[in-house]
Amino acid sequence: MVLSKLLGRSATRKPAREGASNALPPTPLDGGTLSCQVHDEADRPLPEATVTVVNRLNQQVASGSTDGYGFFLATVQPGTHKVSITAGGYQRTGTRAEVRTNRHTAIGSVGLKRDPESALPEPGVWTFDPDHTEIRFIAQHIGMSKIHGAFRELEGRVTVREPFERSKVEVSIDAASIDTGVRMRDDHLRSADFLDVANHPRLYFHSDRLTQLRGDRWSMGGQLTLRGRSSPVQLDTTYLGTRSWNGTRTACHCTTELRREDYSVNWQQLLSKGIGVVGPTVRIELDVQAVLEE
């Protein structure tokens, strides 16, 4: 039914001038479009902010993320709607919008304020809590499924300085603590084909730059040393704030992707179709919780 309305509408619409383009996508005759642009505290467009639209019955009718220019656009049923906007490191904000049939409702520019609970950690040395810190990895197997594993033994600390961008992160990982849940596979990963634990018992990471991207999003650059070979890595980092629980704690979530060839981890077997048993890249995920030293 909606498709037929759209087809009927497009049939009666005047043709566009040559070289012209429609600013908005077509909407069904019984709906309307709703748009906004989200900015941060410095009036810069804020990408990846979450916009949620609910109707007067408190039912969610649209949800999505702003694009690289902070824009959000959705097609919804006519009526009064509540619009809620959230982004990491910022306070939630909301507004109301009256959407009319076959009309575009522009909320306009919406500015978000920084969340005071996302304040950066105070200067000092913050030591990783091993019971609440985990380093996981995901590797592809024969081009079909994924193998999940983790390193169970590690040490780390964050030296927070002012400004925060000058802070340093240092991590040391016990290579033999690798664990995928399969003993034979873990023994192979510890061998010279992969981690070469006998000659290189530890992996090391140290940061050399921290850059704030927006809100709670940071980029952490550094060097990872594996099998005695160092290569630069870039970690996409989400800062999770600080809390008081058995001391003062701070936390973050990091992700990155490593290429095995950068560390001379080149062992491979090929299937009959030329597909490798182990994929060329490994995804790394870190959940870190650190405690401020007294």
Averaged over successive runs of 10 residues, the pLDDT of the chain (294 residues) comes to 38 39 66 95 95 96 97 95 97 96 94 92 97 96 87 98 97 98 96 96 97 95 97 98 96 97 83 71 97 95
Question: Both 79 and 136 in a single domain?
Answer: no
Question: Both 182 and 194 in a single domain?
Answer: yes
3-state helix, strand, coil in the chain (%, to 5): 10, 55, 35
| Residue 45 lies in domain | 22-115
Q: How far apart are CA 5 and CA 10, in angstroms?
A: 8
How many residues can be counted in the chain? 294
121-134 pLDDT, tens digit each: 999 999 999 999 99
Cis peptide before 232 (omega within 30 of 0): no
Q: Look at residue 1 and give its three-state secondary structure.
A: coil
pLDDT value at position 267?
79
Structure tokens of 81?
């709607």
Q: Count other Cβ atoms within 10 Å, centred on residue 232.
A: 10
Q: Look at residue 112 and give its three-state secondary structure.
A: coil
> Which residue stretches of 86-135 are H helix?
none
264-282 pLDDT, tens digit each: 988 777 666 666 778 889 9
Question: Both 218 and 188 in a single domain?
Answer: yes
In a domain, 4, yes or no: no
In a domain, 197, yes or no: yes
Q: How far apart are CA 27 and CA 99, in angstroms?
A: 12
277: domain CATH number is 2.40.128.110
Q: How far apart are CA 4 and CA 23, in angstroms?
A: 22
Q: Tokens 């290189």 label which residue?
A: 200
Backbone angles phi, psi at 39, to 5 degrees: -125, 155
Backbone angles phi, psi at 250, to 5 degrees: -135, 160
Looking at the structure of the chain, the number of domains it has is 2
**Domain finish residue from 58, 86, 115:** 115
Question: Both 140 and 128 in a single domain?
Answer: yes
